[in-house]
Amino acid sequence: MATSRVNTKVIVVGGGGTIGSSTALHLIRFGYMPSNVTVLDTYPIPSAQSAGNDLNKIMGIRLRNKVDLQLSLEARDMWKNDELFKPFFHNTGRLDCEGTEKGIASLRQQYQDLIDAGAGLEKTNEWLDSEDAILAKMPLLQRDNIEGWKAIFSKDGGWLAAGKAINAIGEELRSQGVKFGFGGAGSFKQPLFADDGMTCVGIETVDGTKYYADKVVLAAGAWSPTLVDLDDQCCSKAWVYAMIQLSPSEAAEYKNSPIVYNGDIGFFFEPNEDGVVKVCDEFPGFTRFKQHQPYGADRPKRISVPRSHAKHPADTYPDASEKSIRRAISTFLPRFADKELFNRALCWCTDTADASLLICEHPKWKNFILATGDSGHTFKLLPIIGKHVVELLEGNLAEDLAHAWRWRPGGDALKSRRAAPAKDLADMPGWNHDDTSQQVKLPR
């Protein structure tokens, strides 16, 4: 075991979420002493305000940038074979559908990119050129609702039991003896520096607790740009979902159904073990711009500030979201169009301009590592993303990953690579919210 790993102390801020929990896990797997690893979060792992603490997330291989293929294949292998993760991968398949001329053209290019990747993906991905072909994969769709659709069927796709997977990491970390801080003792206030004012030696939390370490990893997801100044590289946005309850007989009909996704409508998952179906619409997201001063900024600036559903459980989503969720149900699950919706919620992620992660040392602060910029597509990397964060800590991150994830101001994170810029919640009728948070008593 490397001496540096035995002695190095690491703090993971936001360790109850996707990138943070994965980083903590891989620190232990790399041989760091559990007593030298401290996981901090506002909520216990899995953090109640993490986008990853969810009923389910999509799993599949899609090539959005140059490093996607490597990471997706690496993650797929871990979901299938790693003892900690494989119970949470439901390999039901994935149907990506489009019905407009523009959408079909884009889908064809996606398919060609998969085939041309040289990774054997032609064996697991199939082009479906007709409604009959689509219905052969998902016979419970209604033919007149998919008229003119084309699709890619991915045999290696499916869904991930997201919150359960992060919880399993938490149980492993606790069993290994990792240290935790939650509530006020886990909520980031500011970095602590050596006398040179540039070398990070720890952090202070909002209750005044000071933690000292050799390395600090900030993996706070959508909250990252509100905590430290990221020079507008990340813009936090909310997406919406709602759930419907099926009867046992209804749920049995949909068991093992593939993910069905349409870029103009949304997507849904098979029922979980309790007969609950999560339905999402598809749109460029919502922002919540405020004047806010993150650490490192010399004055307040316009930042999209997430609003935690865990702290504000009475919050709703906009009227437009109710309509679009209902439209998705009417398209994919028309027989359930009149079912009551519940667990309506906003799920916060943070986009970069090019939809690549931001994983690098802060250019002004030595030993302060950023691990954020998920761009809504990072949960599938849960089993492996922390490994690459640890590689960065040790100076061994592959050159192509280091380049893709570098500090890179400029670009348009508000739009990112989505169809249009996000709309702000302040402009959306029907978004009802209280003025004060309902704090939950947390363990210390």
Core vs surface per residue 142-174: b (16+ CB within 10 A) or e: eeeebeebbbbbbbbbbbbbbbbbbbbbbebbe
SS3 category, 189: strand
Q: Are strands 259-262 and 94-98 parallel, antiparallel or unpaired?
A: parallel
- Residue 204 half-sphere exposure toward CB, CA atoms < 13 A: 9
Backbone angles phi, psi at 223, to 5 degrees: -85, -10
**Cβ atoms within 10 Å of 49's Cβ, excluding its own:** 23
**Rounded Cα distance, 52 and 379, in Å:** 6
Q: According to the model, what pLDDT value does residue 66 have?
A: 75
Residues in the chain: 444
Q: What is the DSSP string of 114-131?
A: HHHTSSSGGGTEEEE-SH
**Rounded Cα distance, 253 and 274, in Å:** 14
- Residue 230 half-sphere exposure toward CB, CA atoms < 13 A: 36
Q: What residue ranges of the chain have pLDDT lower than 70?
A: 1-3, 434-444
Q: Is the peptide bond before 318 cis (omega within 30 degrees of 0)?
A: no
Q: What is the DSSP string of 136-163?
A: HH-TTS-GGGSTT-EEEEETT-EEE-HH
Q: According to the model, what pLDDT value does residue 435 have?
A: 55
- Asked if 336 contacts 352 with a C-beta cutoff of 8 angstroms, the reply is no
Residue 439 DSSP symbol:
P
- Asked if 1 contacts 31 with a C-beta cutoff of 8 angstroms, the reply is yes
- Rounded to 5 degrees, what angle do the CA atoms 341, 343, 346 make? 115
Helix H, strand E, coil C: the string for 328-383 is HHHHHCHHHCCCCCEEEEEEEEEEECCCCCEEEECCCCECEEEEECCCCCCHHHHH
- Asked if 24 contacts 17 with a C-beta cutoff of 8 angstroms, the reply is no
Q: According to the model, what pLDDT value does residue 437 have?
A: 41
Q: According to the model, what pLDDT value does residue 62 have?
A: 79
Show the tokens assigned to 306. Answer: 């997430």
**Rounded Cα distance, 406 and 215, in Å:** 18
Residue 296 DSSP symbol:
T
**Rounded Cα distance, 195 and 364, in Å:** 14
**Rounded Cα distance, 95 and 152, in Å:** 6
Q: How far is it between the farthest Cα atoms of the chain? A: 69
Q: How high is the mean pLDDT of the chain?
A: 94
Q: According to the model, what pLDDT value does residue 442 have?
A: 33
| Cα–chain center distance at 202 | 26
Backbone angles phi, psi at 84, to 5 degrees: -70, -35
Backbone angles phi, psi at 249, to 5 degrees: -70, -40
**Rounded Cα distance, 332 and 85, in Å:** 29
pTM: 0.95
Q: What is the DSSP string of 222-289?
A: GGHHHHB--TT-EEEEEEEEEEEEPPHHHHHHHTTPPEEEETTTEEE----TTSEEEEEE-SS-EE-E
Q: According to the model, what pLDDT value does residue 118 have?
A: 87
